[in-house]
Structure 1
Amino acid sequence: METTLATLGLAAAESGPLAPERMTFADDGSIPNTLLATLLFRSRGLDSRLDREAVAHGFERVFATSGWRPSWRGGVYPYHHYHSIAHEAFGVLSGWGRLRLGGEQGEDVDIRAGDALVLPAGTGHCHLQASDDFLLLAAYPEDQRELDLIRADPAEHDAAVSRITKVSRPERDPLGGEMRHWWP
């Protein structure tokens, strides 16, 4: 796995994955967000010999080995939404994208090929802009086989908060690090 992380630009100088940038977002009454940090692992640069399919296979291998089930490839919906019964991870396969995380008043974040992003259950996300070749691989913890999709809606808020509190925390982040380091 270390070799794969290195080719994706996600290996630390010592051993293991890079430490992520951590962001938290307040509950805005429509999107609950969470006290768990959104994690952004920034790639130091993909191995230039990798094409998009090789990047996809690399992320699939690392995610699966870490207990995160690769699920689909695509983009992010262009409206604010979140998931209340699963955490979600993205590996950026190609291009770049700008997402708003945390809801209408959240933070704009740029992600690029090789980056990995972990959205705890309840974290709002929305596509703002992307290159023509922007493509993500999404993954979910092995025990979180179902996925809901909830738009920013105060009427859904309280029931969603109740579900979010019951979502299990994976032992490992999608790159193989111990999740307890990021989500104490």
Structure 2
Amino acid sequence: MKTPQTLYFRDDGNIPNSGYPTLLYRGMTAENGQSLVETLEALFEQNDWPAQWRGGVFDYHHFHSTAHEVLGVYDGAATLRLGGEQGENIEVSAGDVIVLPAGTGHCRISASNDFALTAGYPRGEGDWDICRSGDNTPAVRQRIASVSRPSLDPVAGEAGGVASDWS
């Protein structure tokens, strides 16, 4: 199983981010005669992070206060800024998977015309919200703190990053 890169982002006053690391898996490939998007969505489903939509990433800084999120890139490439305006630019391309803990800022800086991803959330977390830069209030931070740690990593299952790096 692939080992994820771990990235840590601090609360910058506008984006709360998380004490849990963002996980970045590189180079996932299509399997069993499926397309890459089908492979990623099947993997997420198997690990209780069912895909809920396909598309891109907003071009403004935002985060989710009510759910963790997994993004699986299945086409094209993009530069995403993770961690808010003071965060880090990350180059992603088809086969890369990003696991964003609740509160972690993300924004599309640039993307190829064919950039596309699938997004999922841990089963049972309820609805995800969209908070923008500056929504870093005590109530929002309390919602983030109440989001439970998932039992499975969306890529590695029980053996992976959420289990070991989110302890």
Q: Which bin holds the TM-score, normalised by the shorter protein?
A: over 0.9
List per-residue Cα deviations over 1:155-182 (Å, max 9, x = no partner): x422110000000111111113332212
Report whether the alignment pairs 1:111 with 2:92: yes
Report whether the alignment pairs 1:57 with 2:38: yes
Distance apart, 1:28 and its partner CA: 0.8
Larger radius of gyration: 1
Choose from 136, 139, 143 the match for 1:159: 139
Q: Structure 2: which amino acid aligns with 1:27? A: D
User: What is the alpha-carbon distance in structure 1 between the residues aligned to residue 46 and residue 31 of structure 2?
Assistant: 24
Residue 55 of structure 2 is matched in structure 1 by 74
Pair 18,48 (structure 1): closer, same or farther in 2 beyond 3 Å? closer
User: What is the alpha-carbon distance in structure 2 between the residues aligned to residue 55 and residue 47 of structure 1?
Assistant: 4
Choose from 33, 51, 65 the match for 2:17: 33
Off by >3 Å, runs of 4+ in structure 1: 46-50
User: What is the alpha-carbon distance in structure 2 between the residues aligned to residue 78 and residue 41 of structure 1?
Assistant: 22
Q: Structure 1: which amino acid aligns with 2:36? A: V
Q: Structure 1: which amino acid aligns with 2:22? A: T
Residue 87 of structure 1 is matched in structure 2 by 68
Residue 7 of structure 1 is matched in structure 2 by none
The number of equivalent residue pairs is 164
Secondary structure of the equivalent of 1:175? coil
Distance apart, 1:145 and its partner CA: 2.6
RMSD: 1.8
* TM-score normalised by the chain length of structure 1: 0.84
Residue 172 of structure 1 is matched in structure 2 by 152
Secondary structure of the equivalent of 2:118? strand
Q: Is the 8 A contact 1:84 1:121 kept in 2?
A: yes
Q: Is the 8 A contact 1:31 1:157 kept in 2?
A: no
Residue ranges of structure 2 left out of the alignment (5+ in a row):
none
Choose from 18, 26, 39 the match for 2:2: 18
Residue 165 of structure 2 is matched in structure 1 by 182
Secondary structure of the equivalent of 1:36? coil
Seq. identity, %: 45
Q: Is the 8 A contact 2:31 2:39 kept in 1?
A: no
User: What is the alpha-carbon distance in structure 1 between the residues aligned to residue 123 and residue 11 of structure 2?
Assistant: 27
- Map 1:94-133 onto structure 2 (within 5 A): 94-133=75-114
Q: Is the 8 A contact 1:95 1:133 kept in 2?
A: yes
Pair 48,164 (structure 1): closer, same or farther in 2 beyond 3 Å? closer
